[in-house]
Amino acid sequence: MSWSSGYPGPSGSGEDPGLSSADAEPGPWWSREATGFSPGGADPRSSGGGEEPLPPWGPPPAEPPTPATFPPGPTPPGFHAESLRGRTPKEPPGAAVPPRPTAPPHPAPPGAAASEDALPEPVLTVPHQPPPVDHVGSGPPTYDAEPTALPPADPDDLDDLVADTVLDGARYGASTLRAASVRGDSARFRGEPRRDSLLTARFGAGEHALVLVAMATGARATPGAHRAAAEACRWIGRAVGRSHARLAEDIRAARRGDLKSGLHRLTDRSLGKLRASAAEQGIEPEEYTAGLRCLLLTGDPECRTRVFFGVGDGGLFRLRDGEWQDIEPRVAETTGEAVVGFGSLPHETPEGDRLTMDLGITTPPSPYEPAPEPPREPFRFRASVARPGDTLLLCTGGLAEPLRGEPQLCEHLTERWSAAEPPGLAAFLADTQVRVKGYADDRTVAAVWEA
């Protein structure tokens, strides 16, 4: 068998010395059809006419080669022409392929087109929520929006440091809680610590859990205001935690009288410990005191009773049906002399004895009696039942005052908090930091969204 491709054999020539022309046999039909040349034919890589074969590293031709077609080889043994009967003849290479048949569309039922035209196409509407803003009102505030100076630190008392911002949140039962405490613009500029303190705690588990949110504000212009606020939150948290089972049961059973009297005692004891701590430090009680405001929630999804209690200034608001309601408990302040029928003593005792006239002679203070204590803040209490879609807002005076004094702030928070889902922690923090000119105190806020 001769090799016409020009490849040398083992001896270096173009012929195989082990085969002669007499011994050469025709190869199988598939070898000739697959390779495209027969023994003795020319190399398909050559250009024909006796030219030299193209080297593999040569430049490509100017026009790309077209696919080569080869004639069919001989019929293999055992193959009969009858097997081709009933088959479709092979199309020539250039014939167009007919399109693939597709299934006819299903006929629409009668009246379907009319019904589709009658019904409007569904349109996806995305509720518009205004972006957060830096300030509202007549103009930008005087102070910078970001912290400027840090409070001074004592290397031997680093636990006394207070963070600029505190953020927390949770979801229990049918309510979602968001809470934040932010240092005011004035304190940020002057390098003073945040006088507000925030405590969020859960006592118990499951439906018997009780969630406490406590916030306190230390006295203004006192060196230990932040410590007094933090201590007030810890004392009330400890008192509520020890009685959480009874408190949760009273809330679910709507025992308003028991709740008011019990929480009043716990609040008095907590603030009494502050006065005792002031005596130990050798300072006046009014210099180491704090306003305390608390909110109680239960983990029972069937109980929507929300309990507020505390002393001091602040705000309790409710967003219902797109309107803000100021539901802060009012404390009656009575001034002036007593009048008949309102605060005056009865004319006689139950035994019938007539009372003598008071001549207005003051009694000198006894040296054996302790000095009278300064008047205490009145106790505030409110138990309300929430509705689905309500938002309950408890805050200190830093946010309550601008809410009552700037209508644009109320409108902005209404648009931001009227969505179907409560805001996330970052969005809630941005909403609580919307500034109003003329209000630069610390802000501590807790909001509850009802599912």
- Positive/negative CA dihedral, 51, 54, 58, 59: positive
pLDDT in tens, 53-109: 555 565 666 655 555 554 555 555 554 444 444 444 444 444 455 555 555 555 555
Structure letter (DSSP) for residue 58: S
The whole-chain average pLDDT of the chain stands at 78
The tens digit of pLDDT for each residue in 12-24 reads 444 444 444 444 4
131 burial class (0-12, 13-18, 19+ CB within 10 angstroms)?
exposed
Model confidence pLDDT, tens digit, residues 303-349: 999 999 999 999 999 999 999 999 999 876 444 443 444 444 555 56
pLDDT at 41 > cutoff 50: no
Q: Where are the beta strands (DSSP E) in 275-327?
A: 290-298, 305-311, 315-320, 323-326
Single out the residue of 326, 323, 274, 270 nearest to residue 294, CA to CA: 270
pLDDT category at 118 given cuts 50, 70, 90 is: low
Nearest 5 degrees, angle CA 37-CA 38-CA 39?
A: 130
**pLDDT at residue 171, as a whole number:** 94
The pLDDT-based confidence of 278 (bands split at 50, 70, 90) is very high
